[in-house]
Chains A and B, each alone.
Chain A
Amino acid sequence: MTVRNFEGVSDQRKAAHKRRLDAWALLRAGRVHAHCAMYIGGYAIECKLKSVAMETFGCRTLSQLARKLDLDDASVYSHGLEALAILLPLYSTLKRSSAWRDFAGEVNRWRPSWRYDPNDIELSKATTFLEAVDRLYHWLDSNQC
């Protein structure tokens, strides 16, 4: 049986959309799920950055993207949001936009290791984080070439 690794551009585009909706659904479920909402929300941006990079460079998969940009696979399969953002031709535009403050102030705190954190978090913190995720997500949608 072949294991799918969901590295395709449409996988990542759809996953970005779904993880964003999942994150808000978790947040609406109350404070006990707020930390997980933030954790899932970070993946929405990771997937979005990957899909925008693939779309911009006309690649169908992350492996193709790595070859096109002459990078090793680790650079494009990364969970590091800074490392992924820098791949985008619109990176310098992003850094001069208001969305950069959402990125630097909230979204870039995200770590995959949050899944191991058993502590609850205030609803207001998670809400602020997801609002920043939303603004950055829409900025990436509106500004991709």
Chain B
Amino acid sequence: MPQARRRPKTHPVRSRNEVKRLVYEAFRKEFPEDTVDLSDGYKENIHVMVVSREFDRMREREKQDLMWKIIDSTDLSEDEKGLISLVFPVSPAEIK
């Protein structure tokens, strides 16, 4: 019996502002009390900065893994994720 062909996964075409909103909401959900700042990068790019005590005891690699895990938890396409050109987790201890 022929197997049903799987439909290719398609993504809606989102505006840049919609991508920003989805990224912001994903980070806000994970960091409800902390600073989540999304700003404009070069041209269409987006910069994400989070300042949180949660990063206090994490190594750089762990911070990055957590940030990208949150980005990957959205249903953004790879092209949409490619708009994010700066992912910057900061512990308050680093800026004091």
Contact = CB atoms under 8 A, between A and B. Distances in A.
A111 to B, nearest CB: 11
Interface stretch (A27-35, A45-53, A98-106, A133-141): A98-106
A86 interface: yes
Q: Is the interface of A mostly helix, strand, loop or mixed?
A: helix
Nearest to A131: B61
B61 A100 contact: no
B60 A108 contact: no
Contacts of A108: 85-86
A104 B85 contact: yes
A101 B85 contact: no
Contacts of B78: 95-96
A10 interface: no
A83 B59 CA distance: 29
Interface residues of A, number: 19
Interface string A75-91: 00000101100100000
A82 B82 contact: no
A82 B87 contact: no
Interface residues of B, number: 18
A104 B88 CA distance: 8
Contacts of A80: 42
Contacts of A92: 79, 82
A124 B59 contact: yes
27 contacts: A80-B42, A82-B42, A82-B43, A82-B45, A82-B85, A86-B42, A86-B43, A92-B79, A95-B78, A95-B79, A95-B82, A100-B82, A101-B64, A101-B68, A101-B87, A104-B84, A104-B85, A105-B64, A105-B67, A105-B87, A108-B85, A109-B86, A109-B88, A125-B60, A128-B59, A128-B60, A129-B60
Given A101-B68, A128-B59, 20 more contacts: A82-B42, A82-B85, A83-B42, A92-B79, A92-B82, A95-B78, A95-B79, A95-B82, A96-B79, A96-B82, A100-B82, A101-B64, A104-B84, A104-B85, A105-B64, A105-B67, A108-B85, A124-B59, A125-B60, A129-B60
